[in-house]
Chain A
Amino acid sequence: MPQRKDSLYEQLNPLTTIAGQHFVEYFSGDTLDNFRWGKDTNDGTYAMSDSVDGGVVLTTGSGIYASACIGLVADTTSGSPTMINCFDSQGAVIQFIEQWGTGAGGINASTHGFHSERRGDNAGNNGCALNTSLWSTNYRLRTCNSSGSQTDSDSGISAVGGSGIATNKNFFRVEIQPTFASLGINGVLTNSHTTNLPSGGLAPCFGIQNHSNNGASILHVIYCEAWNTA
Chain B
Amino acid sequence: MSVNSQVARNQSGQTFNSVFESTNSLATLFSGRYQGGQRMVEWFTGHSLNTDRWTLQNNTALPTVSMQNGIDGGLFMTNTGTGYGGSLSFNNKRQYGNPCSCIIVLKNTTTDGITYAGFDRNGAPSTAGGLGGSNSTAVIEMGGAVNMSLVVTNAGSGWDRTATSIATANTDWHCVKIDVKTSSTNLSIEGVLEATRALAPSTTMQPCIQGRNAGSNATTYVRYFEAWNT
Contacts and interface: CB of A to CB of B under 8 A. Distances in A.
Given A4-B22, A4-B23, A24-B3, A83 B71 contact: no
A196 B39 CA distance: 42
Contact of B190 (A7, A16, A86): A16
Nearest to A16: B191
A18 B103 contact: no
A53 to B, nearest CB: 16
A15 B177 contact: yes
Contacts of B49: 35
B31 interface: no
Q: Is the interface of A mostly helix, strand, loop or mixed?
A: loop
B73 to A, nearest CB: 5
Interface in B160-200: 173-175, 177, 188, 190-192
A1 to B, nearest CB: 7
Contacts of A157: none
A10 to B, nearest CB: 8
A227 interface: yes
Contacts of A14: 191
A84 B46 contact: yes
Interface stretch (A87-95, A105-113, A206-214): A87-95
A36 B47 contact: yes
B131 to A, nearest CB: 27
B68 interface: yes
A38 B67 CA distance: 13
B34 to A, nearest CB: 15
- Interface size bracket, B side: 35 or more
B11 A86 contact: no
Contact of A2 (B7, B41, B228): B7
Nearest to A86: B73
Nearest to B174: A18
B14 A2 contact: yes
Contacts of B103: 7, 9-10, 15
Interface residues of A, number: 48
B25 interface: yes
A84 to B, nearest CB: 5
A1 B6 contact: no
A225 B43 CA distance: 11
A210 to B, nearest CB: 25
Given A5-B23, A9-B103, A15-B191, A74 B48 contact: yes
Contacts of A72: 45-47, 67
B226 A19 contact: no
B6 A84 contact: no
Contact of A8 (B3, B46, B68, B72): B3
Contacts of A228: 71-72
Interface in A97-129: none
A97 to B, nearest CB: 12
Given A33-B46, A82-B69, A95 B23 contact: no
Given A23-B45, A72-B47, A7 B226 contact: yes
B143 interface: no
Contacts of B47: 35-38, 72-74, 83-84
30 contacts: A1-B12, A2-B10, A2-B22, A3-B10, A4-B21, A4-B22, A7-B101, A8-B226, A11-B7, A16-B192, A17-B190, A21-B71, A21-B72, A21-B73, A22-B45, A22-B224, A24-B3, A24-B43, A33-B46, A35-B46, A35-B47, A36-B48, A37-B47, A84-B67, A84-B68, A93-B2, A201-B69, A201-B70, A225-B2, A225-B3
5 residue pairs, one from A and one from B, having the closest CB atoms: A36-B46, A15-B191, A23-B45, A23-B43, A16-B191
Given A18-B105, A21-B74, A88-B71, 10 more contacts: A4-B23, A6-B101, A12-B6, A16-B192, A19-B105, A21-B72, A21-B73, A36-B45, A36-B50, A85-B71
Interface of B: 1-3, 6-8, 10-12, 14-16, 19, 21-26, 39, 41, 43-52, 67-74, 101, 103, 105, 173-175, 177, 188, 190-192, 223-224, 226, 228, 230
